[in-house]
Structure 1
């Protein structure tokens, strides 16, 4: 028997096993064993979680010999309840996987499609953590606080990135009904301001019903040296193996170990796993083996327009796309046609996409190893595999040219020149890049649709695809399903498949019913063409919005490309829109706008959108993007201007550490230098792709700013510190108005110049001006460290982590002076905005 992990495999393995009963809605109570005995088990009605303790059923006399012991039965799921492997990949559009016409080898997804069902109308929210919040809760993303990612959260219920207690996750429900539950990979649903060791941990996977977590917290991660956690403890298994160890493989290894451990401990206990690899979110970090395999295939030599046409033809051959469908024109106004690129640009872009494709193929291969383990243990027959391709469309956040460093994009460097990027050509995709490909490839990988991740009004941003297998239940092998469904439908489907009721109360808190609709009915061949049961669904992301109503789609015209994050935002995103209307029953891929023909339908659907928006916490609409990144949040630094540390400490995430961008600040370290001299990190935040470091190098004090790996500005003492006690200080005076200017959609106050001065024992030893500073973020997946450096260093030329401080740290004091807008500033900005509005 060939295995799922065989390269190039298309056919699925023969999956054996007796067919189980079809899934039922909440089954009648099932018990096993002698009541009161240690081996007794029972199912529960599931209305209250955790279930109330049963009444003691034994007999208690004065002495044990006259008494009868009794044990409460263990809670188990219904006998027919399947294992569930819920897979969701990242930033991957409809036209990426082979099962849906793509050219990148995805044999695991193809095998699941052949063994089970392919779904063409699985919809996302257009952005990563909002989709994932809807996925694990069965509710709309605004309903559970994830109108945007946590790093953009604001103080409104639909946008605060806090999943409410009255909306329990699928992990929690299955756990209390007797499942083992685990989460592997990306966790972008822990608030950025609650990700430190201070907690609270109720919004971490282990606090949301997942007994075991192995993965990273945040939107992206360096796959070579990730910010990796086991449960809530940071781990560093890659140390000593940098550039060889990769999280994509390590995560599969850990999942295989977990599955085996649970099986060997209790073979009867079903498992629920949420499996969320970092692929294919930037940085694109495959191994060299996979890059070489893809490069040898020459899949992309004729450019992104030809790739788009090839994918589209494949989709028609597969019957995925209607034969009469057409493509929208290539967007020449924002993406330069391939034939107009220079030879050097073509060479760079092909390298970018080959690394992306290798990352996708590599991830699919490792997913196959996890599925194979279920088969090797004899469990695959009763395992429900849900494999969703992408939490949104393909990302275009690298801009038209791509970038070797995504952190640069988030700081406004959206179009790095090709000649600058070519310096990274030979190391593209290795630990020395935080890379993203050209948006031209992203447009092609969203075929047959257009636009990208972030664009909630275009199918390229929200129309994913999915394959599902459950050998014991699904008999229509290789079937295709076109019913409309949304990621909030997945949790209700899993519950129905397991025969487990949705709870009414969890931890004493009355629950809000799930808002998704089970699609279990589509598993039966007789329902292959049945009407969708999910009739109405809104979409909204950063001021772009849409409404699906039983085949009709009202869309706002795209008014901002994803890389255009720093300009003024639409001040009235509800009304200041160009409305488009599509009949998806007749125009499958959103190419024929009929708004002018049906103005009454436009008005009707707009009214329905407003009703849905009010119902699900979508208001207030906010079209800002970058501005929300620096908005204040209730983290542990909120309102503080002084921080004092008296001993080494590492691993404080960016969202909970002192934020010094767009501000004046002073770092003062009181240290004792030993007789043989001092060396090592005093404090650092960020890493190789953007951040700062304060350290002793050969005894000399150094302050260094890493400006997104494009430039490094260094202040350095002239002499090594003598043994004994010293005070080293770095003082920075910022020349700007700060984040307050964002209230006026004006970024002129951010990333401004400033002057830094390095002092030793009160004496100035170096001073220089920075002509520009980082405006928005440091490297998100790196931490604030004192006394040593975790993960990557801010300057490879000076040191390699951990570079521990050999001097004794007595005290580190950080003082921050953030610019405040004066009444005159506010008046001037208001007048400037009025003048701009008049000019526009």
Structure 2
């Protein structure tokens, strides 16, 4: 056999390419978008018009005969973005007020944010939604938060389109769009945009980051987590516990390591493929968990020794010096009717509050430093010049969820429990910021970090809740280094900005589903120095959160006056939030909303009121709901919904709160059939929650024990007097609740929750311990902990009793839970309805 090597090496690429020009033109794909590699070859690429995603395959352009030797292969061209499309590093921090970072006048050092601002632009008129999940949904979709199903956080979802925490299929994320156009996409850090009732190994996973267009996810599910022992931490859809084997682990650093390593691999494997990295660290949401080194560094700076009133004056002066507020801007007055002045405090209060502020500041500085490492990795890889870096400082204003006193345990705050300063000093001062606290600072610091504005996170009608500092750099494109932009903007403008920068069109159809148009407008018009002071293109923007609302329109802002301070989250709410008490501000001349001019412009009030209701109807804002924490116990469509009888396998870990059965405000019975091995038994049978609130049924030194940890402040324990002998045993913990239950919340009445009850621990049918609890957890357990069976994956419910993972040494042969929720009588309903009617009148 003779091989004609010359004939073998011939391949009709020219003819195929010519034929495909016609095919691609017919398909609406411009031939000019292709690379120099012959079409059909393994190296061939194509850009797409992007209107239909994923793009249809190119018709086969080779030749198929009976034999491969007489046939011509053809590979689908790899989809790539348009030439010059930048990498995108999208950074958003958590709970950072406008006046906290030094970049926007604060006293806390933020050199990474400084660097981006120096390389590019500072935006001083950027807005969030006033709460985290809603802001993040708007950020990644380019649609308003109610349009995206996130009128509130996912744990408070209700069964209305604007509030169900579901990003519907007609609202593809920026991740989906860029991925379908040839980008590599990844998400690091906080994900608070998956319905809580879908966070389990059973899925579904289409609302997880990997189902929303992100190739890779490393982060935590939910609103916050311990940075020392993070719960609900996932790599893609697999839960992980890396801190168990790493001394000194902190997620802020570990996450930066993960992102840097991932980008390094991308650059090595696909150096020409642009990427989107969505980087969302937990800082500075509570718990404030910096390393001890950062706390020491900030303490040595003595930033807060003079208190919050003087801090506001300092920040305000810095802001004018930097030019991030107009010289005519006024500092809003300190709310002395709500918050104490610093000189009214005792020495003990000052000592504790300074400690709180130092730890918070250390957390912000630490978070920014780790972000700086990620940015430096981009620079070290030679990618900085063509990387669009968007650094948004905070997803809402500074948080007031620490109460007026601060708290060593944020979970306590959400259950209406305050910890006195004396107890903080005695038990938590040195531990503040460590793994033994879930800490948050006092409200007055939060108010100060929102300088020059008034109010805080949760308040959507005032800029203290919604104004975020932002810096954008793209060294190859933005030449006005260090410039300042004052145009009104909103987080819904970010996705359109990214698409325009990448020259990628907004799709009309994704996965066969027609897309609703993005509701933001690109900010790229502000990148050019000649447009530094052109009028804003974002002219109208509604705001709404927890029944508090406002409308911005062409430089004016109509505001629904505050009826609930942001630190008051429990208790009866306004049953008629649609009845507004309007204030009016001319933002063109009143940068800080300091002068209500509603009385002088009644016609403008009427005009803007009509605009508000038009926008509210358009974007799924109704029905207005002023409730806050009571929504935490709203029934949702999880796998446990409607059930009261649960049987579990002998070992199962990582069951998130969103899908675990709730025993709060109810009677319940745990029954465990166990086999104790020779030599005695030890370990966890079932637990939910941990160090900061939760319960556990376990054997300690062989003795059956049930413990309730009430916010790390009190523990109630039922313990058998004797260790179990080897063999089979039946353990029962039976709790009889005294209250009417969560059903009273439907009548705007909180009297049914958090009541006490009596618990009995039984061993083989005999009562071995019986105790009365004076109160119980009313609303929520520690949300970053799981329900675990057979071991404990989080923190202990009792540090003195055991250390995790505390795996059970015997066998759990069966485990059953029956929940007996109180049912309101007709008389109860009539009484509650009458009380609610009187309150609404």
With structure 2 as the length reference, what TM-score do the two structures score? 0.96
Choose which of 242, 248, 255 in structure 2 pairs with 1:251.
Answer: 255
Answer yes or no: is 1:615 the counterpart of 2:608.
no
SS of residue paired to 2:565: coil
Q: Deviations over 1:436-488 (max 9, x none)?
A: 00111000000010100000001000111100000000000010000011000
C-alpha separation in 1, matches of 2:328 and 2:197: 49
Q: Deviations over 1:23-77 (max 9, x none)?
A: xxx9985111111111000100111111111100001111111111111100000
2:671 counterpart of 1:668:
yes
- Structure 2 match to 1:655: 658
User: Is residue 2:422 matched to residue 1:408?
Assistant: no
CA–CA distance in structure 1, aligned partners of residues 202 and 245 of structure 2? 29
1:791 counterpart = 2:794? yes
Tell me the residue number matched to 1:7: none
**Aligned match for 2:776, one of 764, 773, 776:** 773
Match of 2:240 in 1: 235
Pick one of 490, 500, 504 that aligns with 1:500: 504
Query: What residue number does 1:809 align with?
Result: 812
Counterpart-to-counterpart distance in 1, 2:499 and 2:169: 19
- Secondary structure of the residue that 1:144 maps to in structure 2? coil
Alpha-carbon deviation of 1:416? 3.5
Q: Answer whether contact 1:224 1:431 (CA < 8 A) is retained.
A: yes
What's the counterpart of residue 190 of structure 1? 194
Contact 1:29 1:43 in 2 (8 A): no
- State yes or no: 1:736 paired with 2:747: no
Q: Does 1:689 align with 2:692?
A: yes
**Post-superposition shift, 1:421?**
4.8
Distance (Å, rounded) in 2 between the aligned partners of 1:343 and 1:606 = 48
Residue deviations 1:123-182, cap 9 Å, x none?
Answer: 000000000000000000000100000110000000000000010000000001000000
> Distance in 2 between the 1:809 and 1:328 partners?
61
Radius of gyration: which is bigger?
Answer: 2
The CA deviation at 1:645 is 1.2
Q: 1:288 aligns with which of 266, 289, 292?
A: 292
Q: Write the distance in 2 (CA, Å) between the matches of 1:312 and 1:551.
A: 23
Q: Is the 8 A contact 1:124 1:462 kept in 2?
A: yes
2:364 alignment partner in structure 1: 360
For residue 240 of structure 1, report the CA deviation from its aligned partner: 3.7
Structure 1 position 124 matched with structure 2 position 155: no
Change in 2 beyond 3 A, CA 1:28/1:411: farther
Residues 799-838 of structure 1: matches in 2 within 5 Å?
799-837=802-840
* Aligned position for 2:379: 375
Post-superposition offset of 1:419:
3.4
Contact 1:734 1:753 in 2 (8 A): yes
Q: Secondary structure at the match of 2:829?
A: helix
CA contact (8 A) 1:29 1:45 kept: no
Q: Verify the 8 A CA contact 2:330 2:591 in the aligned structure 1.
A: no
Question: Where does structure 2 lack aligned partners over 5 or more consecutive residues?
Answer: 1-28
Q: Is the contact made by 2:758 and 2:770 (CA closer than 8 Å) also made in structure 1?
A: yes
- Other-structure match for 1:701: 704
Q: How does 1:737-756 map to 2 (within 5 A)?
A: 737-756=740-759
Structure 2 partner of 1:624: 627
Q: d(CA) in 2 for partners of 1:202 and 1:310?
A: 47
Once residues 31 and 120 of structure 2 are traced to their aligned partners in structure 1, the CA distance between those partners, rounded to angstroms, is: 29
Secondary structure, aligned partner of 1:655: coil
The equivalent residue for 1:144 is 148
Contact 1:29-1:44 within 8 A present in 2 as well: no
Aligned counterpart, 1:18: none
Q: Which residue of 2 aligns with 1:727?
A: 730
In the alignment, does 2:617 pair up with 1:583?
Answer: no
**Cα separation, 2, equivalents of 1:415 and 1:145:** 35
Q: Which residue of 1 aligns with 2:91?
A: 87
CA positional deviation for 1:323: 1.8
Measured in 1, the distance between the counterparts of 2:377 and 2:32 equals 31
Matched, 1:96 2:100: yes
Report if aligned partners of 1:404, 1:421 keep a CA contact under 8 Å in 2. no
Instruction: Identify which of 320, 325, 333 aligns with 1:321.
Output: 325
- Closer, same or farther in 2 for the Cα pair 1:80/1:528, shift >3 Å? same
SS at match of 2:484: strand
Deviations 1:610-637 (CA, angstroms, capped at 9, x unpaired): 1111111000000000111111000111
Distance 1:503 1:28, change over 3 A: farther
Aligned with residue 445 of structure 1, among 437, 441, 449: 449
The CA deviation at 1:836 is: 4.2
1:496 positional shift: 0.3
Q: Do the aligned residues in 1 keep the contact of 2:352 with 2:424 (CA within 8 Å)?
A: no
Contact preservation (8 Å) 1:399, 1:415: no
The answer to whether the 8 A contact 1:642-1:813 is kept is yes
- Measured in 2, the distance between the counterparts of 1:791 and 1:768 equals 26
1:141 and 1:325 map into 2 onto residues whose CA distance is 29
Conserved? CA contact 2:352–2:421, under 8 Å: no
SS, match of residue 704 in structure 1:
strand
Q: CA deviation at 1:414?
A: 3.9
1:301 aligns with 2:305: yes
Call closer, same or farther: CA 1:210–1:571 in 2, change over 3 Å: same
Q: Does 1:592 align with 2:595?
A: yes
Cα deviation for residue 562 of structure 1 reads: 1.7
Count of residue pairs the alignment pairs up: 811
Distance 2:338 2:757 in 1: 34
Aligned mates of 2:567, 2:425 — CA distance in 1: 17
What is the distance in 2 between the residues matched to 1:63 and 1:219? 60
RMSD: 1.1
- 5+ unaligned residues in a row in structure 1: which ranges? 1-25
Q: 1:266 aligns with which of 266, 270, 277?
A: 270
Instruction: Indicate yes or no: 2:83 matched with 1:70.
Output: no
- Could you give the per-residue CA deviations for residues 299-331 of structure 1, whole angstroms, max 9, x where no partner exists? 000000100110000001111112222222211
Determine the C-alpha separation between the residues in 1 that align with 2:50 and 2:245. 48
Are the counterparts in 2 of residues 27 and 78 from structure 1 also a CA contact under 8 Å?
no
Q: In 1, are the aligned partners of 2:443 and 2:567 still within 8 Å (CA)?
A: no
Q: What CA distance in whole angstroms lies between the structure 1 residues aligned with 2:577 and 2:670?
A: 42
Within the alignment, does 1:716 sit opposite 2:719 as a pair?
yes
- The question of whether the paired residues in 2 share the 8 Å contact of 1:117 and 1:467 is answered with yes
Superposed counterparts of 1:467-478, under 5 Å: 467-478=471-482
Cα distance per residue 1:565-617 (max 9 Å; x no partner): 11211111111x32111011100111011011111111111111111111110
1:200 corresponds to 2:204: yes
1:669, 1:729 within 8 Å by CA — same for their partners in 2? yes
Q: Write the distance in 2 (CA, Å) between the matches of 1:367 and 1:469.
A: 14
C-alpha distance in structure 1 between counterparts of 2:763 and 2:31, whole Å: 75
CA distance in 1 between counterparts of 2:759 and 2:425 reads 29
Q: How far off is 1:420 after superposition?
A: 4.2
Partner of 2:10: none
**Cα distance in 1 for residues equivalent to 2:32 and 2:594:** 52
